[in-house]
Amino acid sequence: MTPADAPTVFIVDDDAGVRASIQGLLKSARLRCASFGTAEEFLRNKPPEGPSCLVLDVSLPGVNGLDLQRELADAGVRIPIIFITGHGDIPMTVKAMKSGAVEFLTKPFRDQDLLDAIRQALDRDRVTRQQQSSLAGLRKRYEALTAREREVMGLVVSGMLNKQIAFDLGTSEITVKIHRGHVMRKMQAESLAELVRMAAKLELPPGKK
């Protein structure tokens, strides 16, 4: 595993003792971590390249934990969050979990409960990053298609036959077959069903040009 691929656990808690305790726990579990006393300090930090998660105190000076969760979501930052708090209540927990938190732990919590939540969060982030990487590769292949090939792909995945596509585009069936072959090769699709799944992932409407 390269340093860029190594997971990072971020800790945001205004209690230095809590930060030190969690850092010690993570060190014993051989997990890389970085800690911050405020949400603002965390936001100034460069996002990691590898899998990561955030252990976040709800009660923070300035921007609190729930507000930081919302700010990150609004900015498109999908880092998995584990909330920790000394005085959680049910509405607060429900709000955090509905907004995508992995876990909500009330202090004092068991070390193993925190480690289990962190591992779950890191696994979730790995899967998300793999999916994002796969989708980026798919978009790159789609962008390599010519305008006519994109047009043919849209009609093919909508269920039209070659002769119907030829009529619709005012061209010959042989030309459509050639374009279709180019689409399958460039998109690296082994079958029509796979091409349809690719179009769904790209969220292409039928007949997109």
Instruction: Give 208's pLDDT tier (boundaries 50, 70, 90).
Output: very low
Lowest mean pLDDT among 81-95, 148-162, 193-207: 81-95
pLDDT value of residue 4: 57
pLDDT value of residue 71: 92
Write out the chain in H/E/C secondary structure. Answer: CCCCCCCEEEEECCCHHHHHHHHHHHHHCCCEEEEECCHHHHHCCCCCCCCEEEEEECCCCCCCHHHHHHHHHHCCCCCCEEEEECCCCHHHHHHHHHCCCCEEEECCCCHHHHHHHHHHHHHHHHHHHHHHHHHHHHHHHHHCCCHHHHHHHHHHHCCCCHHHHHHHHCCCHHHHHHHHHHHHHHHCCCCHHHHHHHHHHCCCCCCCC
C-beta atoms surrounding 111 within 10 Å: 14
Residue 164 has pLDDT above 90, yes or no: yes
82 close to 105: Cβ distance less than 8 angstroms: yes
Read off the tokens for 129. Answer: 């990053």
Average pLDDT over residues 61-81: 90
Average pLDDT over residues 148-153: 95
The tens digit of pLDDT for each residue in 123-138 reads: 999 999 899 899 999 9
96 by Cβ neighbours in 10 Å (0-12 / 13-18 / 19+) ranks as buried
